[in-house]
Amino acid sequence: MSKKTLGLIAVLLVLASVLIFVAVSQKKAQEQPLNTVNTQQVATSPTVVKVPATTTLAFSSISLPVTNTPQQFPITINSSNEVTAIQLELTFDPLKLTNASIAQPVTDAFLDKPTELLKNVDIKKGRITYAFGISPSQNPKKGTGTVAVLSFTPKLNPGEQTKISFLPKTLVTALGVNESVLKSTTNTTITGQ
């Protein structure tokens, strides 16, 4: 046999020895028990903590006698949640309440200089959508205050009534909560004088 053949056989023997050693080491490692009490894997789901919805929205008065002159009605909030944004969805009879508009309060504002996200006043259908919230640099707020002021001119005969109602899409968001924290809303009835 030539030296080349002997050298090739020697290299193959060393390579085979290394492969056998690695295979045996892997098998021994798999057979050793883990240093744990329970070796079964248990699938767990994250714990979801539900924050109670404690926020209420209401008109400043449940029933109001009005004359057929321009009127303003504050919408108030009472919340122990850390409020970050509010979406008001309101409906009214456009034949009985005209010139409707909505804006931030001039005084006693619940949120300090909120960012207006959406404002849509449909005077033909009698529907208002108004959304606003804090900016990223502002802190959330809890407590009480005025969130918006609804303005309109009533067209009511003496004793005639109409309602302004919150719609189900009205919501309030709070820090660290994925769902609305709105617990309840209180509508208002307006009576002509």
CATH code of the domain covering residue 77: 2.60.40.680
Domain span at 183? 55-192
pTM: 0.71
Backbone Cα Rg of the chain: 35
| Token pair for 162 | 């109409």
Read off the pLDDT of each residue in 106-126 and give the average, rounded to a whole number. 92
CB proximity list for 187: less than 8 A, separation 6 or greater: 59, 62, 163, 164, 165, 166
Residue 16 counted as domain residue: no
Residue 38 pLDDT greater than 60, yes or no = no
Residues 100/88/109/75 CA torsion (nearest 10 deg): 60
Helices (H) and strands (E) counted in the chain, each on its own, are 1, 11
Residue 140's identity, in one-letter code, is P
Task: Give the sign of the dihedral formed by CA 104, CA 109, CA 110, CA 116.
Answer: positive
Residue 44 pLDDT greater than 80, yes or no = no
- Tokens 């009127």 map to which residue? 71
Structure confidence by residue, pLDDT tens digits, 125-166: 999 999 999 999 999 999 999 999 999 999 999 889 999 999
* Rounded-to-integer distance, Cα 183 and Cα 53, Å: 5
Residue 79 counted as domain residue: yes
Residue 117 counted as domain residue: yes
Domain count, the chain: 1
SS3 category, 70: coil
**Phi, then psi, of 49 in degrees rounded to 5:** -100, 120
Residue 41 counted as domain residue: no
Residue 27 counted as domain residue: no
